[in-house]
Amino acid sequence: MGAEIEKEKTKFVWIVFSIGVCTNTAVLTAALVYGPGIGRESGMLENVQAFQLALGGLLFGAAALRAETIGERRVYLGLAVFFVSFFTREIEVGRLSQYWVVFTLLTAPAKYIWLTAVWGAMAVLVLVRLRPTWHFFLTWLRCRSGKMMIFAGLLYCSGLVFDKNLFGLSRMTRNFFEECLEVNATTFMLFAAILSLYQIGQAVAAPPVHASPVQAPAEKDPAVPTLGRFDKGTGLRRTT
């Protein structure tokens, strides 16, 4: 039974990676057809990034609502805020000028005011329960979804090479390569959100298993996650 469960988990991870490969292949195919102009500022690739960031933020928000411990809720809520912050950076607000409220909230100085307030509130929430939050964050980084987020960060940093034009390329060409790296980065960020929500669903759906039918399990502090909550091999939470 355990082997079948692990097989299903591995199958799910491969499905997620396959979706990512198909997405990136479609982007590169479109780039080949339409030329480097597809990567222009506020072009198609930036719109793809904005969509993935918005969806990832919603998924991390859902993960925060379904989280079992305080540490989990704080980490997933912080990641949702992080995604929203990136979303406000990538979205093209010029087309939203007819919606006055939305346009105002997504442009300076109003955008920086409410983002500062949200991050300030997030910092207070983390500092109030710093130990369980930090503990779970380190645990999350070691699982597959955390590694995907780290890899996404590396892709974003790689885009700076083209942003600084270290290779002497034309502006349109370097913008295209920069946007390609960033859209791949947001794809992996979306994967991290999907896997995080999935592993919570697996833990909630699975019934608790006790080592002994006689000895009842000791109560645990719900604010402190255990080190064994994640399986490093699959990146999914253990439920035993």
Intra-chain end-to-end CA distance of the chain, in Å: 14
Give the best-scoring range by mean pLDDT among 47-51, 83-87, 206-210. Answer: 83-87
Q: What percent of the chain is modeled with pLDDT above 90? A: 26
- Tokens describing residue 26: 């479609």
Domain spans of the chain? 2-207+222-229
Residues 166-202 pLDDT 10s: 777 777 777 777 877 888 888 889 989 988 988 786 6
Torsion-angle region of 98 (φ positive above 0: left; ψ -120 to 50: alpha; else: beta) = alpha
Q: Give me the chain's average pLDDT, please.
A: 76
Distance separating alpha carbons of residues 190 and 167, to the nearest angstrom: 30
Asked if the model's pLDDT at residue 10 lies above 70, the reply is no
Asked if the model's pLDDT at residue 228 lies above 70, the reply is no
Asked whether the CA dihedral 110, 112, 114, 115 is positive or negative, the reply is positive
Q: Is 107 helix (H, G, I), strand (E, B) or coil?
A: coil
Residue 79: which pLDDT band, with cuts at 50, 70 and 90?
A: very high
Q: What are phi and psi of 68, to 5 degrees?
A: -95, -25
Who wins on pLDDT, 98 or 133?
133
Who wins on pLDDT, 205 or 25?
25
- Which of 61, 48, 57 is CA-nearest to residue 20? 48
Q: What are phi and psi of 92, to 5 degrees?
A: -90, 110
- Tokens describing residue 39: 């990567």
DSSP assignment letter at 228 = G
Is 236 in contact with 196 (CB distance < 8 Å)?
no
* pTM higher than 0.75: no
Is 197 in contact with 140 (CB distance < 8 Å)?
no
